[in-house]
Chain A
Amino acid sequence: MNRAVRYALITTCLVWISSAPARAQGPGPAPAAAQRTAKAAAPIDITGYWVSVITEDWRHRMATPRKGDYESVPLNAEARRAANAWDPAQVEAAGEQCKAYGAPAIMRMPGRLNIAWENDSVLKIDFDAGTQTRRFYFGSSRPAASEASWQGVSAAQWEIPVSPNARGPAAVGGAAGPPGGAMKAITTNLRPGFLRKNGVPYSKDAVITEWFDLVKAPDGDQWLIVKTVVDDPQYLTTPFITSTHFKKQAGATGWNPTPCEAR
């Protein structure tokens, strides 16, 4: 699939998500779903405090990589030129210290999340790293067009696994399927920023697809797994795919809001 077609498909998907009530992966009636809010229909509960456990990409996340270290990011030549021109002093002078704290990158920041329902249709994630907030809008709750921002606009839906006896995917509020599910979100309207702190760029046209999954470990720990797919027709040769894990905390222990830093 060429990149133009892929991008068109993502855009189409986004329109579909934002114009329809929350639904599962495929077609299927959801008469009961229409009566239920996204909050009530949540197949998993991802609210609470979570801490990132940095066992992957440690050098690129816990430390600020050297200029020109864009290892493993599928950048094109234009992106490499931009990354090679990174100057944190310029970033600071421009007051853009939060360039590496936008939606495409913030899940990779070492820190803690506080996830809570802002209302029945909007799930909010606060980040202590950079004191950022992301909002995930279910159904028609998405706000009217606004200026591009670090966190963009995230349209969310629940994905629920297929019931073994159902002819189609179980829908939100429909016939009971196996427990579990995931939150899928597509984020657009982004202000250009950095995938990594050392100036690895993403553009205003970047589209972020994410899935939020929960797993419960045998020792009782709960883990939030966030898969992030960054599609950027300007700077990436292929989608940039990462998965980031967070461990559930009993409370706000360690919550330490810190401002964005450019270096």
Chain B
Amino acid sequence: MTVSLILPLAMLAGVPAFAQIDLQGTWGPRYHEDQEDRIPGTYMGDYVGMPITDEGRLRGEAWDSSRLTMQEQQCRVHVSPYIYRGPLQLRIWEERDPESQRLIAIKQWIQNYQQLRTIWMDGRPHPSPNAAHTWMGFSTGKVEGNALVVTTTHIKTGWIRRNGLVQSDRATMTEYFIRHGDHLTHVRILYDVYVSEPLMHTTDFVLDPYYRGNWIYPCEYVEEIADRPKGQVPHFLPGQNPFLKETAEKLGLPPEVVRGGADTVYPEYRLKAKGAAVPARPASGTPKFDIVRIPGPGPNDVEVLPVQGDVYMIAGGGGNIAVQAGKQGVVLVDSKTPAISDKVLAALSKLTNAKTRYIINTSADPDHAGGNKSLREAGVTITGANVTRDIADAAAGAAIVSHENVMNRMVAAKVASPNWPTSTFNKGPKELFFNGEPIEVIHIPNAHTDGDSIVHFRRSDVIATGDIYVTDGYPVIDVAKGGNIQGIVDGINRVLDMIIPDYGTEGGTMVIPGHGRISDEADVVEYRDMVTIVRDRVQDMIKKGMTLDQAKAAKPTRDYDPVYGPGDAFVEAVYRSLSGGNR
């Protein structure tokens, strides 16, 4: 039976809690379980004891540990569902309001990757699904009986085993911290699209007040492989991972056993391995649970999220809008659809009294440029020379900036002229200096379409990517309008070249995708790896002479479909791109 976990925000938020239990102190782990997996790391292809889905297994089998030599992979942090399983030292303390002494948060310092984790105990809700994800995620807690119960959302994609098995960024986690004297048990239940049953682990800690070891974990990436071709992502094509058979031999187990799956974690599997007839149990199917989903804005609503510096994101109702607001006025990147313009304007009026001066279009798509007219008319252009102050009287409105192919596409599509760009560029980058900030508009050739641009707010350190990068689906590649998979790959790599991450490839330069949530380098890397791997798979199919239908039937996106949705249209676009389209 599927049990719905779709909870209202209020439930996620929990209630203000009393400290019936005290977890404070320094805790040292004990590795008396899964030591091989947790300390040195187990073999590639060893999935024993993991209730993974077929898709989860496929992702694991594609993993090539050489990927860890890539600069942007070297300092990736272990996500909160996994970090307690690896080597670490743990310090826990409480943060209380100095006036009321009410418990605000329980803090944890995790030595491995020097992570500061906050578990909010003050009843605050979980943030919007469009907010950024982090390695530790967003956690709220409450005390139930003798346990601190923690609910975590907004987790990045990361390990569930350090050999390529992953949880997605859709995962949620429930934890129980239970103390008995000097013993602490950490119980973790993970709900994700890559496990068909909740993934349960328990981890043991012992109070260690005299620990005087190292509490920091510097990580600085280096160039490990100098001659690696730009954009190459190490991975194994389906069926070509040479380590799977070898791993079974090393473990002394039949190959079928090391493949994991929900059926392998129940006692019957032991008897089955000995040849006994036991009732069949559903194996490796789709998850038998729903995952907590926090409601975002409805299809006709918008929400404003601060990103960084002077930049905000307006989500909902079409493509994301990036907003830069300051004394000189407002710069918008994209304008959503006309149906939502009133709500965008209302949201802007809450953000600033300044008028919109520039609208930059990342493409000609109606969900990104459809609101040009309305938003432009609410804006203003300031000029000089023989026309002083503003020319609002002439109803010029804000300037609309784009690559010239956006104009060409709008004209060809007979879009009404008030929506057209007023300032186009051909090669670029188009440069602005506005509100004390350098802004670059950079053309990305032949990616989503032939008119794509990304926008870099250099002082705020935010990049708006348009639809070359989204978090809620595969890239839409409009081959008929000049789109191409290689342009997508090159464009994302260009974005990655511009990003400078903070510690652990988290934070630093922030990214506003065309659709979906606020991102940083780790998220873009995850997406880049996906599009590159799918491209390589389809390229291999073309080399083998497979037709488009055969390529689709082979489902080269199957392992990513639980995250990004059905991949047929993407596969078709990739196939058409690689077999002669647009490049």
Please give the residue numbers on chain A whose beta carbons come within 8 Å of chain B beta carbons, in ascending order: 25, 43-44, 51-59, 62-63, 66, 71-74, 110-112, 129, 159-164, 177-182, 184, 211, 213-215, 217-221, 223, 225, 227, 229, 240-245, 247, 254, 256, 258
Residues in A whose Cβ lies below 8 Å from that of B36: 59, 71-72
The 3 A-B pairs with the shortest beta carbon distances in the complex, nearest first, are A180-B145, A58-B49, A72-B35
**Counting CB contacts under 8 A, is B579 at the interface?**
no
User: CB distance A72 to B31 under 8 Å?
Assistant: yes
User: CB distance A164 to B20 under 8 Å?
Assistant: yes
User: CB distance B204 to A162 under 8 Å?
Assistant: no
Shortest Cβ distance from A188 into chain B, in angstroms? 19
Apart from A164-B19, A227-B183, A243-B33, what are 20 other A-B pairs with CB-CB below 8 Å? A53-B200, A55-B51, A57-B49, A62-B264, A62-B273, A63-B253, A63-B270, A72-B36, A110-B266, A110-B269, A129-B267, A180-B146, A211-B180, A215-B176, A218-B191, A223-B189, A227-B202, A241-B32, A241-B183, A241-B206
Asked, given contacts A53-B266, A178-B145, whether A59 binds B251 with beta carbons under 8 Å apart, the answer is yes
Complexed CA–CA distance, A56 and B50 (Å):
9
Closest to A217 in B: B189
Q: Which of B18-54 contact A (CB under 8 A)?
A: 18-21, 30-36, 48-51
Residues in B whose Cβ lies below 8 Å from that of A243: 33, 185, 187, 202-204
User: CB distance A227 to B267 under 8 Å?
Assistant: no
User: CB distance A74 to B32 under 8 Å?
Assistant: yes
User: CB distance A54 to B266 under 8 Å?
Assistant: yes
**Counting CB contacts under 8 A, is B174 at the interface?**
yes
Residues in B whose Cβ lies below 8 Å from that of A184: 180
Complexed CA–CA distance, A224 and B32 (Å):
19
Closest to A170 in B: B20
Q: Mark B171-194, 1 if CB is under 8 A from A, else 0.
A: 000101010110101010101000
Asked, given contacts A72-B35, A161-B145, whether A218 binds B253 with beta carbons under 8 Å apart, the answer is no
If over half of A's interface residues share one DSSP class (helix, strand or loop), that class is named, otherwise mixed; here it is loop
**Counting CB contacts under 8 A, is B370 at the interface?**
no
Residues in A whose Cβ lies below 8 Å from that of B199: 55
If over half of B's interface residues share one DSSP class (helix, strand or loop), that class is named, otherwise mixed; here it is mixed
Give 5 pairs: A residue, B residue, CB < 8 Å, sorted on A: A63-B270, A63-B273, A164-B20, A227-B204, A244-B202
Residues in B whose Cβ lies below 8 Å from that of A55: 49-51, 199-201, 265
**Counting CB contacts under 8 A, is B81 at the interface?**
no
User: CB distance A178 to B143 under 8 Å?
Assistant: yes
Asked, given contacts A110-B267, A110-B270, A213-B146, whether A56 binds B174 with beta carbons under 8 Å apart, the answer is no
User: CB distance A57 to B187 under 8 Å?
Assistant: no
Q: Mark B138-152, 1 if CB is under 8 A from A, else 0.
A: 000001111101010
Complexed CA–CA distance, A54 and B268 (Å):
11
Residues in B whose Cβ lies below 8 Å from that of A57: 33-34, 49
Complexed CA–CA distance, A223 and B144 (Å):
14
Asked, given contacts A56-B33, A62-B269, whether A220 binds B200 with beta carbons under 8 Å apart, the answer is no
Shortest Cβ distance from B4 into chain A, in angstroms? 9
User: CB distance A112 to B204 under 8 Å?
Assistant: no
Residues in B whose Cβ lies below 8 Å from that of A181: 145-146
Complexed CA–CA distance, A217 and B33 (Å):
22
Residues in B whose Cβ lies below 8 Å from that of A256: 267-268, 271
User: CB distance A242 to B178 under 8 Å?
Assistant: no
Residues in B whose Cβ lies below 8 Å from that of A241: 30, 32, 183, 204, 206
Q: Which of B42-74 contact A (CB under 8 A)?
A: 48-51
User: CB distance B49 to A52 under 8 Å?
Assistant: no
